[in-house]
Amino acid sequence: MSERPAGALAGIAMIFLLAAPAAAAPPPRDTVVGGEPGLMSARISATAEASRYPVNDGSAATIAVSVTAACRATCTDADPQAIADFVGTLIHGPEISLLRVQLDAPHQIEWDCGLGALACYYPRENKVILNGNDTPAADGASRDYVLAHEYGHHVARHRQNPAPFLPSISWGTARWSSHEEICRRDRDRAVFPGHGGLHYFRDPGEAFAEAFARARFPDSGVRWRWLAALKPDAEAFRAIRRDTLEPWRGRTGLQLDGRVPPRGGGAAVKSLRTPLDGTISLRPAGLHYRLSLSNRAGRVLRTSRKGLSPRRGLNFTVCGQSRLRVHIESTRRSGGHFRLQVQRP
């Protein structure tokens, strides 16, 4: 996925095509366009007539669909209500009512989306640019499949991610990215969040959108061209569904308590489940404690060098650990009761 000005997209696509070997797979079929539309894109959009259409999902939700003047004159499949009906079949939340779809004539898409692209998404405008002709992509993806991919970007655009990670549109949504170990893969430089172009097929934001489309079309026959390790399994599809219907809203709190030995007498150890990647914070209710975190194998991951206080706790970025062990040591001669406030994704 690439959040770049529209004017740079054609050049990026050309570099991709020139750099690819002769037997390479089909080029990227879409782009994510950051910033404002370019001058030509703005002129194209100015010719589009927009109306709101019901998505017919049993609710009163509608989306805005427009058709450019050139597409009205030449496109064979520019039916706004058919577009809205299909969008209504996708899993969605209230973000559906923010969606705008613009149907372009084929020759206009490269101005809006870049050379070689069949569609694109403008996050700032909640806008999908789509071909007004029902023409399949080079990899066999139908236009509806492509639209489902773009809607995956739209879902991610409106979902939060735990700190310190990038926004979901670049990183993938919270539960999906934790399941797919995006944090660990990013640290290993196996993925490139928010860097489309030559890294399109290693961009987790694009992999999430493709997995979203694949959830809608499990028997499409479209080959998975992204990083093989990110090919979705049943758990990935469940994470996508939950992230869409029950978005992650922020960290939740819990309390750990117990008794700690006197200084030098060892540590109290508590086990803590960490279902999602992201920053976990531990704050003691009182003074006179040191904390350390280890994984299930006993490897120390983070230690506080000084005694902690309610104002100064211990923060750690969970990156693939499903459970942590918390070691609490007293800095006083006497032990006693301890209480820790925990915030976790």
Same domain, yes or no: 234 and 285: no
Give the domain-ending residue among 217, 245, 273.
245
For 127-176, the pLDDT digits (tens) are 999 999 999 999 999 999 999 999 999 999 999 999 999 999 999 999 99
The percent of residues in the chain predicted with pLDDT above 70, rounded, is 90
Same domain, yes or no: 91 and 34: yes
Is 37 exposed, middle or buried (CB count within 10 Å of its CB: 0-12, 13-18, 19+)?
Answer: buried
Query: Could you say which DSSP state residue 105 is in?
Result: P
- Token digits of residue 223: 């080959």
For 246-291, the pLDDT digits (tens) are 999 999 999 999 998 888 888 899 999 999 999 999 988 876 788 8
CATH number at residue 338: 2.60.120.380
pLDDT surpassing 70 at residue 17: no
Positions of E strands within the chain: 3-4, 30-33, 49-54, 62-67, 100-104, 119-122, 127-131, 252-260, 268-273, 278-284, 289-294, 300-303, 314-318, 323-330, 336-344
**Residue 116 pLDDT:** 85
Total structural domains in the chain? 2
Angstrom distance (rounded) from CA 253 to CA 342: 5
For 22-47, the pLDDT digits (tens) are 345 567 899 999 888 889 999 999 99
Grouping H, G, I as helix, E, B as strand and the rest as coil, residue 71 is helix
For 198-241, the pLDDT digits (tens) are 899 999 999 999 999 999 999 999 999 999 999 999 999 999 99
Same domain, yes or no: 270 and 188: no
Q: What is the mean pLDDT of the chain?
A: 90
Give the domain-ending residue among 220, 245, 270.
245
**Residue 263 pLDDT:** 83
Same domain, yes or no: 184 and 281: no
Same domain, yes or no: 276 and 340: yes
Angstrom distance (rounded) from CA 88 to CA 276: 30
What would the DSSP string read from start to end of 10-50?
HHHHHHHHHHS-TTPPPPP-EEEE-SSPPHHHHHHHHT-EE
Same domain, yes or no: 258 and 236: no
Same domain, yes or no: 262 and 235: no
Give the domain-ending residue among 186, 215, 245.
245
Q: Which domain holds residue 151?
A: 3-245
Of the chain, the end-to-end C-alpha distance in Å amounts to 25
Residue 335: what residue type? G
**Residue 309 pLDDT:** 61
